Amino acid sequence: MTMSVEKRIDITKPLWDQSTFMGRFRHFAFISNPLLSLVPEKELYEAKELYLKYKAGQEPTDTKLDQVIKAKQLYESAFHPDSGELQNVFGRMSFQMPGGCLITGAMLQWYRTATAVVFWQWVNQSFNALVNYTNRNANSPLTTTQMGVAYVSAMSAAMTTALIFKFGVQKKTKNPILARFVPFVAVAASNWVNIPLMRQNEILLGLEIEDENGKVIGKSQIAPVKGISQVVTSRIVMCAPGMLLLPVIMERIEPKPWMQRIKWAHIGIQTAIVGMFLTFMVPTACAIFPQRCKLSIDTIKRFEKENYEEILKNTDGEPPQYVYFNKGL
């Protein structure tokens, strides 16, 4: 005998209404809590075991609802949704705050020389590549060559943009605060290169699309373009407050006598402020767009005739008005 029917939940679905921003925010805050990145592997695998047993209706009879919810949180924070494999801890969304906090703090502190700009952009793009690989679509795996091209291209875009902004725009304006915005401009530009390239197979081969009931009815190449655009926008929004507001804050307070006396602490102060921003911005950015993205069938009919014909076959000539797909993170 398992838990009573009235106490059971659909463990595969979010606990909050995903049609609202607040529901999505609460869901992503639930699975991106930075403390989850500290949970030992043994506990994560135990959570996975309970998750799968509960999903199959075979959990122990004395299992409590709060144990199920905790298992759901740990499982969804650490295991890949497609493959079920344990993700690299540094690539999980729960590590976005500590990882992004340290790297962004360093980029905002050491921005004055070309060497520092290049080095920290390399560190940041390496971290981004790991995050993108960890959260990749397991149904559209990249070859080693494709991953290498994506990594080098994003690195080149970040460094080129940073150096052009630093030695072109910044020097012409003579405004010292603009130098502090070099990291954000580089990060924003590289995101538009890194993420599309890391997910290029979804665009080249098409992404599976479903009707409103979750039944796969075909593929679309426009769907991943829309999904990837939303993911890139979310990633830029995620880092924007820390990288845009913090330079202004530091420019105002660094000349203060008390700040001059503690120059050694500037990196720590910046990192702490970035951490506060990211703690709030990671779930906020993930929640901007629904995870289950919607696309009009008319768009597919207009731009993807072959895919539309396949959808017609799979729906007996009566395709739904909208199709759905997972946009990724």
State yes or no: pLDDT of 117 exceeds 90: no
Task: Tell me: pLDDT of 262 over 60.
Answer: yes
CA distance 292 to 81: 13
- Give the pLDDT of residue 31: 93
DSSP letter for 79, please. B
- Name the H helices within 61-181: 65-78, 96-109, 114-134, 144-164, 170-173
Give me the pLDDT at residue 264, please. 82
DSSP, collapsed to helix, strand or coil, labels residue 326 as strand
Backbone φ, ψ for residue 58 (5° rounding):
-120, 25
Q: pLDDT tens digits, residue range 3-29?
A: 444 478 899 899 999 999 999 999 999
Reported as a single tens digit per residue, the pLDDT across 34-75 is 999 999 999 999 999 999 999 998 888 888 999 999 999 999
pLDDT score recorded for residue 240: 87
Helices (H), 174-221: 182-198, 200-205
Residues 93-99 have a mean pLDDT of 89
pLDDT at res. 137: 66
DSSP code per residue over 283-313 = HHHHHSS-SEEEEEHHHHHHH-HHHHHHHHH
Pick 7 or 230 by higher pLDDT.
Answer: 230
Q: Give 80: exposed, middle or buried? Use CB within 10 Å, 0-12, 13-18, 19+.
A: middle
Looking at the DSSP bridge assignments, the partners of residue 322 are 296
* In the predicted structure, residue 78 carries a pLDDT above the cut 80: yes
Residue 1 has pLDDT above 50, yes or no: no
pLDDT tens per residue, range 200-221: 888 888 888 998 888 899 999 9
pLDDT value of residue 169? 65
Question: Encoding tokens for residue 219?
Answer: 């593929």
Hey, which residues does 328 pair with through a beta bridge? Answer: none
Tell me the average pLDDT across 238-248: 85
Half-sphere exposure of 172 (CA within 13 A, CB side): 4
SS3 state at 324: strand
pLDDT at residue 79, as a whole number: 93
Residue 6: predicted pLDDT: 47
Across 95-124, average pLDDT? 83
The tokens describing 229, both together, are 């655009």
Residue 220: per-residue pLDDT:
92
Phi, psi of 207 (to 5 degrees): -115, 140
Q: Among 107-116, 194-203, 233-242, which is the least confidently predicted range?
A: 107-116
The position carrying tokens 């599309």 is 196
For 44, 204, 277, 287, the CA distances from 210, given in Å and listed in that order, are 31, 19, 36, 21
Mean pLDDT of 263-287: 87
Instruction: Report whether 157 contacts 164 (CB < 8 A).
Output: no
Task: Return the DSSP state at 88.
Answer: P
